[in-house]
Amino acid sequence: MIEATMIESNKNARTWATFCHISALFTFVGIPLGNILGPLVVWLLKKNDYAFVDDQGKEALNFQISMTIYGIIAGVLAYLVVGIFLLAIIAIVDFVLVIMAAMKTNDGEGYRYPFTIRIIN
């Protein structure tokens, strides 16, 4: 795993790693599970070409899988009304953190999302 403080100098690696994060926003344009499918496709295509993309793709996937799990739990809790607010908070946090990750990655810095269940190593 690449250290979060490592600086990536290869522009192509930075671009593809940024796409790993940004592609998670597909879910906000109505693509079902686009938050997982977008990063998965980019990661699978470029993980063997660039170590930085491999690292950031795993990070993006782990975060989006975690957010999906949290969203499902909040959806179940929506029957208790509190879940409606949790769903809104999850969506906002997801959007903001994806943008932050994309900006850091585009600058060549590895990004580590908070609230992430590390499923893919």
Cα(70)–Cα(81) distance, integer angstroms: 16
- In the chain, what are the domain boundaries? 11-106
Which regions in the chain score pLDDT beneath 70? 1-6
Q: What is the pLDDT of residues 102-118, one digit of tens each?
A: 999 999 999 999 999 99
